Chain A
Amino acid sequence: MPEFDAPAPTSHGHLAPDRSTAENLARMLRALADPTRIQLLALMNGAGPEGTTVKELTDALTFRQPTISHHLRILLDEGIVCKSQTGRQTWYSIAAEHAGSISDLLR
């Protein structure tokens, strides 16, 4: 017998994510689970609304630019980070839909 006999009355009426939801979330977490990427996200989280440039990120961390770009690519592929272009400058920022939960994660 489980200790709880009725489904929990949550605000959205589900107990746990279904299998595919859990797998998708696990995949996203694997993309986040790297100290360099955590640091990149912390920098973007602290940046202004326009985001940051690769140069700013490279300057802030002690990695060379190809390393930074490699980690940014993983975050971009997973949809955690997005980029925008103004003139010749490319800006990276946390995707709006993830901004709240990434900010929580970095607390």
Chain B
Amino acid sequence: MDPTEALDRARQVLVLAHPERLSVLSLLTSLPDYSASAAGIAETLGIAPEAVDEALDALAQAGLVHWQRGDRAGDPRVSPTADAWIRFSSLLDKRPGPGPLPTDAPGVQSGVGSDDRPLGPHPVPGPTPPPGQEVPPVIHRIADQLAHRFSATFSAETVHRYVRETYFLLRSRSRVQRYLASLTSRFATERLHALALARGIEMRPVPQVLFVCVANSHRSQIAASILKFIGGDQVHVRSAGSAPATDIAPEVVEVLDEIGCSLLGEFPKPLTDEIVQASDVVITMGCGDACPVYPGRIYLDWAIEVPPTHDLQAQRVMRDEIQHRVEDLWRSLSPSRSEHHQP
């Protein structure tokens, strides 16, 4: 651990080294929904509201609790952060005196059949979860969603590893008995954001370009494939369709292969709000107004007709037109690159 990280950790520990703050955090991790209002905490613990406010301010500053935006009327509620759960919840289970905690407490409801790992008071440490263990389908879906959301920053493998690890970390905490899936989702998101910050990764280091057509089996696939090819890792390219087809048109694979572009692993994908929001440039190709418009993004509409399937020569003409437009787009997105090529 480097000195800066050690200093940060020491500060966090120091903030928690107060009986009242410990009691507040411990209470929050014991409640059925892991959250409470400041008034509720004061009443349950029997300590003064001012002391609770002081404790919550200090804990929030140290990143150990966060306020939830209340979606209904009532006092705002506070709950533990991922840091609090992962770093401190096993400490909160500590009791002084000889002997460890009894281990005959009801096990964590994991949602995954039998599990013969010991669930003692000291969760089994280790940077990675046991490799053979599978996560339940819901956790897998969460990982897929987050992989999509963080696709500009982390590989899908990294995101899946973080979600798995977060899931197993939380599951091994004897206090985490409910909402394991939603807690995993929330905390994996927090940890991925933190990881991006810690590594100094900007969330959008390269332009994010989205090509949209109706089926995402033809025009948008060609454009995306060509831009990936010429932009390399200097651009992040996605494509989607307002009414995605089941497969990519076979003639598309053929005409792209002719210019050395691969469609390996591509498939028609639905247009979602979140991929539009994640994009800097959105190019629509005949999908009408199906594409939602958000401020701050560049929208371009390319009028390109799809030729008959059997006419391979017309397909090539269309491919070349898309290629020229993509090259123009790429020059406008990376001025330094085009200057470099000028005599």
Asked whether, in the complex, the Cβ of A99 is within 8 Å of the Cβ of B175, the reply is no
- How many residues from B make CB contacts under 8 Å with A? 57
Asked whether any CB of chain A lies closer than 8 Å to the CB of B18, the reply is yes
Number of inter-chain CB pairs below 8 Å:
145
B69 contacts partner chain A, Cβ-Cβ < 8 Å: no
B118-126, B205-213, B276-284, B323-331: which lies at the interface: B118-126
Chain A residues with CB below 8 A from B22, complex form? 17, 22, 25-26, 29
* Contact present for B17 and A103 (CB under 8 Å): no
Q: Is the CB of B26 within 8 A of A16?
A: yes
Q: Are B125 and A33 in contact (CB under 8 A)?
A: no
CB neighbours of A28 from chain B (8 A): 94
A17 interface neighbour in B3, B6, B23, Cβ under 8 Å: B23
Contact A15 B30 (CB under 8 A): yes
Is there an interface contact between B125 and A99, defined as CB atoms closer than 8 Å?
yes
Separation in Å of the B259 CB from the closest CB of chain A? 48
Check A4/B44 contact, CB under 8 A, given A38-B13, A104-B91.
yes
Cβ contacts A34-48/B at 8 Å (1 or 0 each): 111111001000000
Please tell me if B14 contacts chain A, counting CB pairs below 8 Å: yes
Inter-chain contact A100/B30, CB cutoff 8 Å: no
Per-residue A-contact encoding for B16-43, CB less than 8 Å = 1, 0 else: 1111101110110011100011011001
Residues of A within 8 A of B (CB): 1-4, 8-12, 14-17, 19-30, 32-39, 42, 97, 99-101, 103-107
